[in-house]
Structure 1
Amino acid sequence: MFTLQPINSFEKFLCNKAFNSGTPICGTFELLPICNMDCKMCYIRMSPNEMHRQGTLLSVNDWLRIGKEAANSGCMFLLLTGGEPLLYPNFLKLYEGLRYLGIIITLNTNGTLIDKQIAETFKHNQPRRVNISLYGASDNTYKELCGNPKGFTQVMNGIHLLLDAGVQVKINFTPTPQNCHDLEKVIEITESLNIPISTPTYMFPPERKPGKISTDNINRLSPQQAAKEQLKVIRMGHPHLSDYINYIKETLDDIKETEEEEVLPPGGLLCAAGVSSFWVNWKGEISPCGMLQKSTRSLKEYAFKEAWEAIKTETKQILTSKKCFNCRFRKICKACGAASFAENHDFSLPATYHCELNEAYEELLKKELKKLEQEKINK
């Protein structure tokens, strides 16, 4: 979910090379599970008491040691996340220490705590990018979804501080039952500020939150609702009708019947996780993916290089769903091995949420294409 995406051809070249060689070029440091908001769909948030029952935060020196070992093993790109990473004690000291190691830093934040000091630091010691989770387009939406009646005002102030400092910003917006009505407005905001936006429609089950969570009781859209929001995003991203029609046709072409002879999936999660990317949680445990805390090694006990080699070996032994690998939706499906495990606690079973979403999306595309073609005939 949180693997850094290459943003230019040279980065793509480096990441492809790292994937083929098993070099951990991309990583995530999850600094803490605490946040200043209480979003209904969060997969990790804990209260301070819940956190202290599970462990203690790593020190700045601990993170810098891990960062140095990771860099020596080939890590170039690092994502800092949480909880809310700006709540981490001495965050700026850690940030500057990691930058001093030569690591390229991206930050995931809810944006409400960005102040002049942070913006000024980033102005003179630039991160690669700041990814801001925008949860709605009004303070009312933030109150309903995040328990923060001033959240929208705060995050917009943070965005403007970063832009004024010349910092690259990207918006992440995930539709939920409480904020999907704000989708168009959020996209309009990003267009007015000329900043990119990502709108994933899949919400992982909050596996890592204290207590048991049923997949039937997750604060997320139904697969059918998610498919509608997905198509809405695509339509807004294709202002020219001809481009929109071409997208629909190309996507439907990608949805093909499988061949009679099934192919066995290779080992691994079918992405870079555990191959060339890693995740270190707030307790110092390294795993292939933050959504998959199944295969871990404590970096308090193991050196990074030793732990990484173990994680790589164990990731290769994971066999993802044979049905998924041979599915006709394979080219458009956003499911991965971690999603299968999160939904089923079993890698061999498909993530049915994605199956239903893909089927609904295909039907919407067919109806949309038929409607557009009929409109052309009527003209």
Structure 2
Amino acid sequence: MECLQTIGTSDREYFVRFNAKVMERRIPLFGTIDLTRQCNLNCVHCYLGDRHHKAGDISNEINTEKWLQIIDEITGAGCLHLLITGGEPLLRKDFDKVYRHAIRNGLLVTVFSNGTCVTEREIEIFSDMPPQAVEISIYGATPETYERITRVKGSYEKCMKGITLLLDHGIRVALKTILMSINRHEFSAMENIASRLGVKFRFDAALFPCLNGDPSPLDFRVSPEDAVRLEMSDAERYRRWLSYYLRTRNFHYPDSLYVCGAGQASFYIDPFAKLHPCLMTGRPEFDLLQGGFQDGWENVIPGIHNQHNGIESCRNCQKIALCGYCPAFFCLETGNEKVRSEYLCEMGKHRLESICNDSTEGEWR
């Protein structure tokens, strides 16, 4: 085995090579499990739709024993990084058992939460077995804006208390937001909250329709130009985009529709034991109540990469590394995974313009 110090390879180069090997060998290194569709909020942009229309699904969610079995199976298959999400995963009464089992299996666990359900129970769990991070979504810097989005009175205060409780006990926290037309005016204030707390902050503006096809979340999009302007206004975010572009601009994309790691190095399991390549695509699907993870991973999930004749105009486009190219996203927005999202295309256009118009262009081009 090559030694990093001996061969003088940088961390970045090493991980590029490492990830290439993972993809080549189809090791399911990155997993996401959606513990529940339950949520105590009712966010206007939620990809699951109105929470009151999801209540009937909860009774069909798999039990603790099955989740523990699934965690054993994904660990055996090579999973290392596990994201536990929902819904609101902390609402599951067996969250403690599922989370601890994942940690004991050696998985590096990140938890996505809205922060409003953090109690002494969660503090005890996370203090005993720390996660990589608890990532909490904040939708505004004031109760008015936050609760206009969550549609639950008092949720802002609960979220802030949850964040404070975690930080006071030394639990690693990261904050994130979905940039929308109704919270855009508080973006800087949300960044300031994260800065004041000393935690990382990120945002995403690429709202997409609900998984059931409801397009209403798109009503809250900000313009691609505005979203990119905010991205590039931060020096570190700008450097990350520039670095990523320089690494990938000469990459030759294969003649396939899906060119990402979904189904190659990552997977998603919903609360009903359905295995998918990722959250956003409903197919191919494998029922883990009918067979084991390895069977689904080897024999069904690879089907996503058997779709050839990708979108020619996208594959040969210099913006493809910057737009967030995703056929599953396209399908949700346009109804056809081969019809691109003009919103994402515009995002890529403005990112490329921002990079190419930078005063240091001559130094790297």
Q: Which category of TM-score, normalised to the shorter sequence, fits these structures? A: 0.7 to 0.9
Cα deviation, residue 187, structure 1: 0.7
**Bigger mean CA offset, 127-136 vs 228-237:** 228-237
Q: 1:20 maps to what in 2?
A: 24
Cα deviation, residue 359, structure 1: 3.4
Secondary structure of 1:52 counterpart:
helix
**Bigger mean CA offset, 53-62 vs 80-89:** 53-62
Cα deviation, residue 190, structure 1: 1.0
Q: Do the aligned residues in 1 keep the contact of 2:140 with 2:187 (CA within 8 Å)? A: yes
Cα deviation, residue 152, structure 1: 2.2
Alignment of 1:246-285 (within 5 A): 265-267=254-256, 269-285=258-274
Q: Do the aligned residues in 2 keep the contact of 1:109 with 1:132 (CA within 8 Å)? A: yes
Alignment partner of 1:44 out of 25, 42, 48: 48
**Bigger mean CA offset, 10-19 vs 334-343:** 10-19
Cα deviation, residue 48, structure 1: 6.2
Secondary structure of 2:219 counterpart:
coil
Cα deviation, residue 237, structure 1: 3.7
Alignment of 1:283-294 (within 5 A): 283-294=272-283
Alignment partner of 1:327 out of 297, 317, 320: 317
**Bigger mean CA offset, 177-186 vs 226-235:** 226-235
Residues of 2 paired with 1:119 and 1:369: CA distance? 45
Q: Do the aligned residues in 2 keep the contact of 1:140 with 1:149 (CA within 8 Å)? A: no
Alignment of 1:297-336 (within 5 A): 297-319=286-308, 320-336=310-326
TM score, norm. by length of structure 1: 0.82
Q: Do the aligned residues in 2 keep the contact of 1:288 with 1:311 (CA within 8 Å)? A: no
Cα deviation, residue 228, structure 1: 1.1
Q: Do the aligned residues in 1 keep the contact of 2:145 with 2:182 (CA within 8 Å)? A: yes
Instruction: Encode CA deviations 1:169-211: one digit per residue, 9 max, x unaligned.
Output: 1111111121111110011111111211111111121124xxx
Q: 1:3 maps to what in 2?
A: none
Q: 1:376 maps to what in 2?
A: none
Structure 1 residues 54 and 122: alpha-carbon distance in aligned structure 2, compared to 1, 3 A threshold: closer
Residues of 1 paired with 2:91 and 2:240: CA distance? 42
Cα deviation, residue 12, structure 1: 6.6
Alignment partner of 1:116 out of 114, 120, 140: 120
Q: Do the aligned residues in 2 keep the contact of 1:287 with 1:295 (CA within 8 Å)? A: yes
Q: Do the aligned residues in 1 keep the contact of 2:319 with 2:352 (CA within 8 Å)? A: no
Q: Do the aligned residues in 1 keep the contact of 2:36 with 2:58 (CA within 8 Å)? A: no
Q: 2:332 maps to what in 1?
A: 342
Q: Do the aligned residues in 2 keep the contact of 1:30 with 1:280 (CA within 8 Å)? A: yes
Residues of 2 paired with 1:90 and 1:115: CA distance? 15
Q: 1:233 maps to what in 2?
A: 231
Structure 1 residues 250 and 141: alpha-carbon distance in aligned structure 2, compared to 1, 3 A threshold: same
Secondary structure of 1:203 counterpart:
coil
Q: Do the aligned residues in 1 keep the contact of 2:83 with 2:111 (CA within 8 Å)? A: yes
Q: Do the aligned residues in 2 keep the contact of 1:105 with 1:129 (CA within 8 Å)? A: yes
Residues of 2 paired with 1:322 and 1:55: CA distance? 44
Cα deviation, residue 219, structure 1: 3.5
Residues of 1 paired with 2:221 and 2:144: CA distance? 19
Alignment partner of 2:94 out of 90, 102, 120: 90
Among all aligned residue pairs of Structure 1 and Structure 2, give the percentage whose two residues are the same amino acid. 24
Instruction: Encode CA deviations 1:94-121: one digit per residue, 9 max, x unaligned.
Output: 2112222222211001111111221122
Q: Do the aligned residues in 1 keep the contact of 2:215 with 2:333 (CA within 8 Å)? A: no
Q: 2:85 maps to what in 1?
A: 81
Cα deviation, residue 221, structure 1: 1.3
Instruction: Encode CA deviations 1:323-373: one digit per residue, 9 max, x unaligned.
Output: 11111212211122222222223232222221233335556778x869x9x
Q: Do the aligned residues in 1 keep the contact of 2:267 with 2:278 (CA within 8 Å)? A: yes
Cα deviation, residue 46, structure 1: 5.3
Structure 2 gaps of 5+ residues are: 1-10, 361-365
Residues of 1 paired with 2:105 and 2:241: CA distance? 45
Residues of 2 paired with 1:203 and 1:91: CA distance? 28
Cα deviation, residue 255, structure 1: 11
Residues of 2 paired with 1:65 and 1:157: CA distance? 34
Structure 1 residues 206 and 289: alpha-carbon distance in aligned structure 2, compared to 1, 3 A threshold: same
Cα deviation, residue 220, structure 1: 2.8
Aligned length: 349
Secondary structure of 2:60 counterpart:
coil
**Bigger mean CA offset, 183-192 vs 44-53:** 44-53
Q: 2:133 maps to what in 1?
A: 129
Instruction: Encode CA deviations 1:241-283: one digit per residue, 9 max, x unaligned.
Output: xx97x89998999999x9xxxx774335222111010000111
**Bigger mean CA offset, 115-124 vs 338-347:** 338-347
RMSD: 3.2
